[in-house]
Structure 1
Amino acid sequence: MSYRPKAFVYRLFTVAILGTAAFVSPAAAEVTLDVLYTTPGTFNTLQQDLAKRFTELHPDIKIKFRNPVAGYEEAAQQILRDQLTGRLPDVAFNGINQIGLFVARGLGAPLDEFIAKDGGVDKLGYYPTLAELGKWKGKTYGLPFAVSTPVLYVNADLVEKGGGNINDLPRAWGELTALGKKVESSAGAGVTGLYFQWEQTGNWLVQSLVTSRGGYMLKSDGCSIAFNDAAGLWALKTLEGFGKSGMPNLSLAQARQSFVAGSVAILVDSTSYVAAADRQIGGRFKFRTMAFPLASEAGRLPAGGNVAMVFATDAARRQAAWEYVKFVTGPVGQTQMVNLTGYMPGNEIAVKQPDMLGGFYEKNPNHKTSIAQLPVLTEWAAFPGDNSLKIIEVIKSHTEGLVTGRRSAEETMPVLVKDVTALLPACAGR
C-alpha cells in the first residue's frame, strides 16, 4: 500500500487525536447532519465522542443524532419508512449485509468520486479486503466502521476445571460440545458448558457455520439459494447437536450476562462484545478469546458489523456527510472505535501508528483474535428483493426449531429451502 510519508502522517494524526484542529474547513454555511446508528449499549459513548472530535475539526458541520435503534434490521425498517416520508438520515451506520437492500431501492450515495478526490482507498488507509465489503455491483456505498468476526469466548478457569487445556482446545464442534458437558459435570448446577449465539442479527452465526464448511448462502447469481447442499446440511446438524446437548435457549443479552457472571464456559459470539466483557469480568476469572473453528480448508467467515453510508441527496449535504464518514472510518475514528468496543478497525493506518493502535493488540490479546481472522473473511450474504428482512426472520425461526429440539436437520432443510425460495424475487443477477 502507498501512504503519505510516515513522519507527516504521524504529526497530522497525533494532533488530530488530541482534539486540536489539524484542519479547519473554509468558511461555509453551517450544515447539521442527521445521523442514525444502532445498538446504543455498544455505540452511545463512542458516537458522542466521535461527533465531538469531528465538530472541533469542522466547526461548520454539526451532528444531530436520531434516537438509536436496537439493531440492523430495525434500522433498515426505519430507513425504508423514511424513504416514503422523505425524512432520510444524512448518514447511517448499517449492517454490512444490507447495502444491496438499500441500493436496489435507489438509496445510498456512491462514494467512489469522494474517495478518488481524497487520494484513493490506499492513501486513506482502508484495508482493501474490508473496503470491498462496502461495494455493491462495483460501486462503493459504504466504508467499514466497525467490523466483527465470530470467536469463542472462553472462561479458562471453568474449562481447566473440566479437564480441558486452554492452549489446546478442540477444533471440532462435537468435541467442543463434549468438553462443555464435562465442564457442566465438574462445575455443578447453573453452569452451561457451551452456548452458541444462534440469534445474532442477520443470521450471522448461522451463516458462519455454512461458510466455515466451505459453503455459501447464495449462488454466484446472487439470488438463488446455495445452502441446500452438504455444507448447509452440516450446519443445520451442528445446530441440532447444540440443542441435543441440552444447551439452553437464551437471548443474546442473557447469554452474555451469564458468561461475564462466570456461568458459561465457552460462548460463541461476535468480537463486538470483547471490550465490554473485559470490563465486566474485571479479572474475576481468566478470560480468553479464540478463533472460530473452520471445518474445511476452504472455510471462510462472514465479516459482520456495520458500514457508514451516505443518504444525503443534495451536493452540499453529501460533501459534509462524506467528511463525517471519512473521519469516523479514518485513523482517529477507528482508534477510538477499537478502544471503546471489541470490533476490528477497517483502517490500517490506525493499526500501524504507534500513537494510535500500534501497541494496542500486544497489550490486549483478546482483541487480536479478530485481526488474525482477516485473511479468511468473506461476505455476509444479503438476500435480495423486498422480502430480504422477512427471509432473515424465516431462517431465525427454523434455527430456533433446531436448537430447541422441535425439528431435526433433515426435517428442517426442505421446509427451510421452500420458505426462503418462496420469498426470493425472480433472479436478475448482481
Structure 2
Amino acid sequence: MRTGMLLAAAAALLVSTAAARAQTEIVIQYPYGELFNRTHAEIREAFEKTEAGKDIKVTFRPAYESYEDGTQKVLREAITGQTPDITFQGLNRLRILVDRDIAVPLKGFIEQEKDFEAAGFHQAMFDIGTMKGDVYGIPFAISLPIAYYNLDLVKRAGGDPAHLPTTWDEVFALSAKIDALGDDINGMSYAWNITGNWLFQAPVFSQGGTMMNADETRVAFDGPEGRWAITQIARMVTEGKMPDYREADLRATFAAGKTGIHFTSTSDLAKVTDMIGGKFALKTAAFPDVKPGVGRLPAGGNLAIVLTKDPAKQKAAWEVVKFWTGAEGAAVVARTTGYMPPNKKANEVYLKDFYQSHPNNYVAVSQLPLLTKWYAFPGENGLKITDVIKDHLQSIVNGSRANEPLEVLKEMSADVEKLLPRGS
C-alpha cells in the first residue's frame, strides 16, 4: 500500500512537472526601460493571475534604448530568426516591419473575439495599427506633446499661472523674462531631438501641414507650414535662449528647477513628477498655436506587434497582446506613466476618478481631438531620413545656423528628396 501511495505521488509530481513545462513562453521586448520597466512588470504580475497567465510564461528581454534602436534590432534579428515573439515599436515604425513582411497580421484573431467592443477595443485603436488592409499592431500607449511649467519660476518672472501662454509669441516673451532671473536659469527647453522627428512634425502638423504630399511623390514640409515650424524652432534659440542639451539632460534640468518651460511628450509626466519630488509646483498646458480647424498633433507612443511565425505561439502571443492592451493593462499604463490608454474601458471604468485627481495628466487627453498619425517616410531609407532631419535641426539648435532656418530647411528638403524611393 505504501509503495502504491509513493508511486501515485511520484506520478502526480511528474504530471505536475509536465504541466509546468507545458507552459508556452512568450518573449517580449519593449523600448525605454526608464519609462516602461515598472509598467510592464506590473502588467505581467496581473496577467499571471488570469487563466491565460497560467498557461503562458512571459519573459522580457532588456529594453530597447529608443524606437530607432528597437526597429534596427528587429530588422537584424529577422534575418537570423532571433526576434522576440512580441515587440513594442513606435507608432511610426510599424510601416517598415509591414513592408518587410516581418509583422504578423492580426485581423483573423480580432474577428474571432466575442464582445471585443465591450472590453474597450474599438475601431480607432485598430486604425492606428492598420496597413495594407490588415491590422498589424494594437496601440499600447498614446502620447501627445504638451508644455510643462515651473510655476515658481513663472511667478518670479511676473507670469500668471492661471493664464499660461497659448501662442509661441507668448511662450518666448515669458521665457525671456524667466531667463533673466539668473545665470543658472534657462527660460525654456524643447525636446526637438526626441525620437522620429516627432517634435518637428508637431509644429508642422499644428498648422495643417504634412511631411509629404498625398501620394508621397515629393516632400511637403518645405511649404508654408514647414517654414513656420522651423522658424519657431530657431526662435527658441535666438529669443528663448534654449540650451543645446540632450533630451535626458533637458528633462533633468527642468526637474531640478533650473528651466521655466519645457516642451516634451506627456509620456514623461510620471517620471518628471517623481524627479521634481515637490521642489516646485508643476503645471502642464496644451501645445501652443494649433491652428483652428486644420491643425493636428502627431500621436506618439507605441504598439504591440506579434513577430513569431509559430502558429501555436501566435495564439499565446495574441492572449498576451489582448491583456497588455486591454482595460486592466491600459490602466496600469496611465497610472505608471504619462501616456494615455487608447482602450475605452480603461478610461471609463478603471480610470474614472484618476483624471479628476490628476489634472496634469488630463491635459493631453483634452487634446485627443487633434490626434493624427505620426508620419513614417516610405522606402528603405526611412530610418536614415529621420537622422538627416535631426542633423539639420541640430545645426539650428547648436546656434551655428540659428539665424538662417529657411536655408537649413531648403537643404534638409533636398537631402530628404535624394533618399526617397525612386519615382517618389
- TM-score, length-scaled by structure 2: 0.91
Instruction: Encode CA deviations 1:244-271: one digit per residue, 9 max, x unaligned.
Output: 1221101111111111111111100000
Q: CA deviation at 1:427?
A: 4.6
Name the stretch that deviates more: 336-345 or 220-229.
220-229
Distance 2:406 2:354 in 1: 46
Distance 1:138 1:153 in 2: 39
Q: Which of 289, 307, 311 is 1:311 aligned to?
A: 307
Instruction: Encode CA deviations 1:170-220: one digit per residue, 9 max, x unaligned.
Output: 2221321121011121x2121111111100100001100100011011222
Distance 1:120 1:309 in 2: 22
Distance 2:112 2:118 in 1: 11
Q: Partner residue of 1:101?
A: 96
Q: CA deviation at 1:59?
A: 1.2
* Mapping 1:44-193, distance limit 5 Å: 44-57=37-50, 58-119=53-114, 122-126=117-121, 128-185=123-180, 187-193=181-187
* Mapping 1:25-424, distance limit 5 Å: 29-57=22-50, 58-119=53-114, 122-126=117-121, 128-185=123-180, 187-222=181-216, 224-245=218-239, 246-297=241-292, 298-353=294-349, 356-407=350-401, 408-424=404-420
Distance 2:392 2:101 in 1: 31
Question: What letter matches 1:343 in structure 2?
Answer: Y
- 2:142–2:299 Cα contact (<8 Å) kept: yes
Q: CA deviation at 1:45?
A: 1.4
Question: What letter matches 1:415 in structure 2?
Answer: E
Q: CA deviation at 1:367?
A: 0.5
Aligned length: 400
Secondary structure at the residue paired with 2:377? Answer: coil
Q: CA deviation at 1:48?
A: 1.7
Aligned alpha-carbon RMSD (Å): 1.7
C-alpha spacing 1:149/1:121, structure 2 compared with 1 (3 Å): farther
Q: CA deviation at 1:114?
A: 1.2
- 1:294–1:300 Cα contact (<8 Å) kept: no
Secondary structure at the residue paired with 1:59? Answer: helix
Q: Partner residue of 2:4?
A: none
Secondary structure at the residue paired with 1:266? Answer: strand
- 1:162–1:182 Cα contact (<8 Å) kept: yes
Give the greater-gyration-radius structure (CA): 2
Q: CA deviation at 1:27?
A: 10
Q: CA deviation at 1:395?
A: 0.4
C-alpha spacing 1:112/1:123, structure 2 compared with 1 (3 Å): farther
Give the gaps of 5 or more residues in structure 1.
1-25
Question: What letter matches 1:211 in structure 2?
Answer: F
Instruction: Encode CA deviations 1:99-147: one digit per residue, 9 max, x unaligned.
Output: 1111000111111121121137633313543432111133211111111
Secondary structure at the residue paired with 1:56? Answer: coil
Question: What letter matches 1:371 in structure 2?
Answer: V
Distance 2:23 2:116 in 1: 28
Name the stretch that deviates more: 217-226 or 203-212.
217-226
Distance 2:220 2:264 in 1: 24
Q: CA deviation at 1:330?
A: 0.4
Q: CA deviation at 1:280?
A: 2.1
Question: What letter matches 1:119 in structure 2?
Answer: K
Name the stretch that deviates more: 197-206 or 402-411.
402-411
Q: Partner residue of 1:10?
A: none
Give the gaps of 5 or more residues in structure 2.
1-18
- TM-score, length-scaled by structure 1: 0.90
Distance 2:216 2:94 in 1: 13
Q: CA deviation at 1:28?
A: 10
- 1:118–1:124 Cα contact (<8 Å) kept: no
C-alpha spacing 1:142/1:252, structure 2 compared with 1 (3 Å): same
Question: What letter matches 1:154 in structure 2?
Answer: Y
